[in-house]
Amino acid sequence: MTSFHSLLAASTGTPLLLPGAHDALSARMIEATGFAAYGIGGSALSATQLALPDIGLQSFGEYRDAVGRIMEGSALPVMVDGENGFGDAKAVTRTVRTFERMGVGGLALEDLTFPPQLGRPPSVISRKDMAAKLKAALSARTGRDLFLIGRTDAAYAVNLEEALARVAEFERLGVDAVLVTGLADLDAYRRLRDAVRVPILAVVVPGSPWFAPSVEELRQVGIEAALYPAAILSRMLTAMHEGLASIRPLHEVPAHKTSLPGLLGVAAWTEIDKRSE
Residue 151 is part of a domain; what is its CATH number? Answer: 3.20.20.60
Q: 272 in a domain, yes or no?
A: no
In this predicted structure, what is the pLDDT of residue 251? 86
Q: 187 in a domain, yes or no?
A: yes
Q: 268 in a domain, yes or no?
A: no
Residue 167, judged by CB atoms within 10 A of its CB (0-12, 13-18, 19+), counts as: buried
Q: 253 in a domain, yes or no?
A: no
Amino acid identity of residue 27, one-letter, is: A
Please tell me the pTM assigned to this model: 0.95
What is the distance between the terminal CA atoms of the chain, rounded to a whole angstrom?
48
Residue 104, judged by CB atoms within 10 A of its CB (0-12, 13-18, 19+), counts as: buried
CA nearest neighbour of 25 among 234, 232, 225: 232
Written as tens digits, the pLDDT of the chain (277 aa) is: 799 999 999 888 899 999 999 999 999 999 999 999 999 999 999 999 999 999 999 999 999 999 999 999 999 999 999 999 999 999 999 999 999 999 999 999 999 999 888 888 899 999 999 999 999 999 999 988 999 999 999 999 999 999 999 999 999 999 999 999 999 999 999 999 999 999 999 999 998 889 999 999 999 999 999 999 999 999 999 999 999 999 999 988 998 899 999 999 999 999 998 887 7
Query: Cα–Cα distance between 30 and 73 in angstroms, integer?
Result: 10
Give kind and range of the element (H or E) at residue 152: strand 147-152
In this predicted structure, what is the pLDDT of residue 271? 92
In this predicted structure, what is the pLDDT of residue 11? 82
Query: Cα–Cα distance between 120 and 241 in angstroms, integer?
Result: 31
Q: 195 in a domain, yes or no?
A: yes
CA nearest neighbour of 83 among 33, 40, 119: 40
Give kind and range of the element (H or E) at residue 172: helix 160-173
CA nearest neighbour of 157 among 195, 130, 197: 130
Query: Cα–Cα distance between 96 and 93 in angstroms, integer?
Result: 5
DSSP-assigned letter for residue 190: H
Phi–psi pair at 120, nearest 5 degrees: -120, 155
Q: 275 in a domain, yes or no?
A: no
1 in helix, strand or coil?
A: coil
Q: 38 in a domain, yes or no?
A: yes
| Total domains, the chain | 1
Query: Cα–Cα distance between 160 and 180 in angstroms, integer?
Result: 9
Q: Which domain holds residue 147?
A: 4-231
Amino acid identity of residue 148, one-letter, is: L
Q: 269 in a domain, yes or no?
A: no
Query: Cα–Cα distance between 130 and 240 in angstroms, integer?
Result: 39
261 in helix, strand or coil?
A: helix
